Amino acid sequence: MTFNSIPGQEKIKQELLSMTNNERLPHALLLTGPKGNGKLALALALTSYIQCSSKNGIDKCGICPACKKTNKIIHPDINFIVPNIASEQKCLSIQELMSEWRKLLIANPFIELDDWIEKLTSESKQANINKESIISVIDYFNLSLFEGNKKIMIIWNAELMAAEANRLLKLIEEPPQDALIILIAEDTSKIIKTILSRCQIFRIPPFSDGDLEKWISEKMPEEKKLVRQMISISEGDISKLIKLMNVEQTDFFELLMKWLNVSYQGLSENIFQFSEEFHRLTKETQKQFLLYTLRFMEQVIKSYYLDTDKIRLNQRELNSMEKLKNMLSIDNLIFLCEEINKNIYNIERNAFSKLMIFESSLKLNNVLRK
């Protein structure tokens, strides 16, 4: 991971680089801010930069022996603590956990907790950083430096350490020479105060639309129209944007208009046809379409209370919003949001999507015709 491959976030990149270049980097850092702001990727870029033996002042070289290892996430002086399955019977060994983690991290340095838990287990949504993992941090720092410039530990989703974090206090208070501990957390209120007070905290904002647009248009130069739509749905969250890029290139706005139309007309033959079309999409595309619809409806609800310039919809969406407001009361819009939320929940649990969307269309017909 290089700083250059992360869109925007220039201020924080400069701060981290300047501290590293001037050897003013503290022993403990906490990178925080909302989901999808690139905090893990920034930690990866920083730690790779620190270990690189021919860095140029603004990024790692990418080709020295240290960089070859950081590229593959196998540098012996960069270690990770990541959440495990909370159940003691089902949790993985640290080796299993790390082998899975390396694979996922190489594929997507913007990975978020939900994706990680989904990979670990399909059953429970509970994850934590367990005692065994915390003890391994202490053991790790008892070993001397192997080959890097610093001995580094990245604790991802540090808020999931809960009370076990107390075990780290001494380490953070009196760190060994050349140690660097980077905590990454979205919700710092769940981290004990004694740890927080010993970290230098970096609050990282969401990505700006402009930064994401530049980044994505380099990856998908031919998809101008959909790029805007995807960025607007992402709301500064790069992990959301990556998911949207990976689903089929469906114009969600057009699909939503079609859905509203067939539901309004209420002809079962057309509804059936639409349900088949929906069913043919991949599960992830179905989910992203419903999330898009949910966000659209929420913006319509907001438009009753807020000025138009505060509504995050583009021009063609705004045009249909006015039509929709003539047909649906706020109560009906809220009912619809609940219905879509239920559908998202069911899709995640592998519901039969054809039947699900057919039933929802009939309910939609009911509210549109009221």
Classified as helix, coil or strand, 154 is strand
Among residues 19, 25, 64, 321, the one that binds Zn ion under rule CB under 5 A: 64
Q: How far is the CB of 49 from Zn ion (least distance, A)?
A: 8
Among residues 46, 52, 185, 368, the one that binds Zn ion under rule CB under 5 A: 52
**Tokens linked to 37:** 């702001």
Rounded (10°) CA dihedral 173, 177, 178, 184:
-10
Using CB under 5 A, which of the segments 49-57, 118-126, 132-140, 357-365 binds Zn ion?
49-57
Using CB under 5 A, which of the segments 54-62, 147-155, 263-271, 275-283 binds Zn ion?
54-62
**Tokens linked to 333:** 């819009």
Q: How far is the CB of 64 from Zn ion (least distance, A)?
A: 3
Nearer to Zn ion, 64 or 281 (CB): 64
Q: How far is the CB of 4 from Zn ion (least distance, A)?
A: 13
Q: Which residues of 131-168 are buried (b: 16+ CB within 10 A; e: fewer)?
A: eebbebbeebbeeeeeebbbbbbbbbbbbbbeebbeeb
Q: How far is the CB of 67 from Zn ion (least distance, A)?
A: 3
Using CB under 5 A, which of the segments 53-61, 71-79, 116-124, 181-189 binds Zn ion?
53-61
Rounded (10°) CA dihedral 261, 265, 268, 269:
-70
Q: How far is the CB of 181 from Zn ion (least distance, A)?
A: 22
Tell whether residue 61 is a contact of Zn ion (CB under 5 A).
yes
Q: How far is the CB of 26 from Zn ion (least distance, A)?
A: 23
* CB 6 within 8 Å of CB 41: yes
Tell whether residue 328 is a contact of Zn ion (CB under 5 A).
no
Contact residues for 54 (Cβ-Cβ < 8 A; gap 6+)? 61, 64
Nearer to Zn ion, 42 or 113 (CB): 42
Tell whether residue 149 is a contact of Zn ion (CB under 5 A).
no
CA nearest to 184, candidates 162, 219, 164, 160: 160
* Beta pairing partners, 154: 80, 182
Residue 345, classified by CB atoms within 10 Å of its CB into exposed (0-12), middle (13-18) or buried (19+), is: exposed
Using CB under 5 A, which of the segments 62-70, 153-161, 209-217, 280-288 binds Zn ion?
62-70
Tokens 């609050």 belong to 203
Tell whether residue 46 is a contact of Zn ion (CB under 5 A).
no
Q: What angle do CA 183, 186, 192 make, to 5 degrees?
A: 60
Q: How many residues are there in the chain?
A: 370
Tell whether residue 45 is a contact of Zn ion (CB under 5 A).
no
Nearer to Zn ion, 61 or 367 (CB): 61
Cα–Cα distance for residue pair 2/47, rounded to 1 Å: 10
Nearer to Zn ion, 54 or 122 (CB): 54
Q: How far is the CB of 283 from Zn ion (least distance, A)?
A: 40
Tell whether residue 67 is a contact of Zn ion (CB under 5 A).
yes
Cα–Cα distance for residue pair 291/236, rounded to 1 Å: 15
Q: How far is the CB of 219 from Zn ion (least distance, A)?
A: 25
Using CB under 5 A, which of the segments 8-16, 65-73, 159-167, 250-258 binds Zn ion?
65-73
State the number of binding residues for Zn ion (CB under 5 A): 5
Nearer to Zn ion, 52 or 160 (CB): 52
Tell whether residue 324 is a contact of Zn ion (CB under 5 A).
no
Cα–Cα distance for residue pair 369/264, rounded to 1 Å: 7
The residue ranges that bind Zn ion (CB under 5 A) are 52, 60-61, 64, 67
